[in-house]
A = this chain, B = another copy of it.
Amino acid sequence: MSFPAQLAADAVAIQARLDAAMAELSGQPVVDAMRYAAQGGKRLRGFLVLESARMLGVASPTAISAAAAVEALHAYSLVHDDMPCMDDDALRRGLPTVHVKWDEATAVLAGDALQTLAFELLTDPALGNGETRIGLVAGLAKASGAEGMVLGQALDIAAETAAQPLTLDEITALQAGKTGALIRFSAEAGAIIAGADPAPLRAYATALGLAFQIWDDVLDVTGDPALTGKAVGKDAAAGKATFVSLLGLDAARSRAKSLVEQAETALSPYGAAAENLIECARFVIARES
């Protein structure tokens, strides 16, 4: 299956797994908000779980709960990140954010419960034996906690009030946490489930994650709000350092391109089996949203 078709098919399967995980929950507003926040998006992280597993010979139904877990984790981070005390965004994926549609308390709790759901999904016996599943729990915790995603978010908030804009090294470290860690774990998860060496997938996803963020900064300048579903030019207006403000638009684009080449090279041991992951890396720097 081609990359775009596979991405679309995986998004459907991931949504179905998330729906099933939340089917038994109460009809409380906080649960409605969880369902709302866990909808939509490209499901790139979940695709990375499923495709890295497929590349290593593991069928999608085996890995689907891990794909749903990284998407639940990602959704939680967006709900909290959009709150007024954080990035203060009213729009996400073209829809009102959770605290706008409900209220801040519901946003706090829905985000909290989506994080919990992510870890609960990793306990699914379909993913493998206890050691495999606890390996996934450890990996997701490391990627998303105070050494990973939350550290990146904290650095991002600190940057907003810093006397000087961040340097290139600082913004690279920030993004390695904020978006990079979960993208890296997503690709590694396939290797954990398959019982394979995670090193090539880690190298691939590290380059991919940075390319992804550089491209997000490019889109913040050049993007069409109708396509990105969020306000553009926001970072520049806030005087925040971005890869584009530090490198310039052309050099940022070319850095992203070179990272995608690195990502491809990392997967060369897998030959043709890596085709969709390589297409995914190319897609990251071709996307308009």
User: Which residues of A are interface residues toward B (Cβ below 8 A)?
Assistant: 22, 24-26, 28-31, 34, 76, 80, 83, 85-86, 103-106, 108-109, 111-113, 115-117, 119-120, 122-123, 129-134, 137-138, 140-142, 144-147, 150-151, 153-155, 157-158
Contact = CB atoms under 8 A, between A and B. Distances in A.
Contacts of A26: 146-147, 151
As for how many copies of this chain the complex holds, the number is 2
Nearest 5 CB-CB pairings of A with B: A130-B130, A85-B104, A130-B131, A116-B145, A120-B141
Contacts of A117: 141, 145-146
A149 to B, nearest CB: 9
Given A141-B120, A158-B28, A86 B108 contact: yes
Contacts of A115: 112, 115-116
Contact of A108 (B25, B29, B83, B133): B83
B131 A119 contact: no
Given A141-B120, A157-B105, A25 B146 contact: yes
Contacts of A153: 109
Given A83-B108, A112-B112, 15 more contacts: A30-B146, A30-B151, A30-B154, A109-B150, A109-B157, A113-B150, A115-B115, A116-B144, A116-B145, A120-B141, A120-B142, A122-B137, A123-B138, A129-B131, A134-B134
